[in-house]
Amino acid sequence: MANKKSNITESEILAKLAVQGMDNKKAFDIRILDLRDIPSAPTNMFVICSGNVPSHVSAICDGVFETVKKATGYNPHRIEGYDNAEWILMDYFDIVVHIFLKDKREHYRLEELWADGKEINFSPENSTTLKSK
């Protein structure tokens, strides 16, 4: 699935698709953390966002699922937390999507725990650009 012309990896493509699904459902504070240079990292990238209420968190998860499925045919290996919809984790092996209620995100501070990762700047309006900060 990697695009050799632009050197975009499969992880980057999945991350972009996840962000598009999040953006389609009006998620906020969307971040991509590139963990590929961290030997102990459980995946290549984390894609993290917040929702306002549990139904919004579930809708964001549905948006990511539909966007990735439509573009790639991939289903997540596992989805955790959908029933409570306070913190939903979607495991796509190469990337892990985290969708939080705002207060849960502030409590768990995932970005601080993985601060050694590089934040990737991605704009849903320009879906061909991923840039490390």
pLDDT in tens, 94-123: 999 999 999 999 999 999 999 999 998 866
Q: How many whole angstroms separate alpha carbon 60 and alpha carbon 51?
A: 7
Interval 118-129 mean pLDDT: 65
- CATH number of 10-112: 3.40.50.740, 3.30.460.10, 3.60.70.12, 3.30.1370.60? 3.30.460.10
Q: How far is CA 26 from CA 6, 21, 39, 54, in A?
A: 28, 9, 33, 14
Q: How many whole angstroms separate alpha carbon 53 and alpha carbon 60?
A: 11
Six-digit token string for 97: 């999507």
Q: Is the CB of residue 83 less than 8 Å from the CB of residue 95?
A: no
* Domain boundaries of the chain, sorted by first residue: 10-112
Confidence of residue 129 (pLDDT cuts 50, 70, 90): very low
Interval 37-48 mean pLDDT: 95
Six-digit token string for 7: 């050197």
pLDDT averaged over the chain? 89
Confidence of residue 125 (pLDDT cuts 50, 70, 90): low
| Percent of the chain at pLDDT exceeding 70 | 86
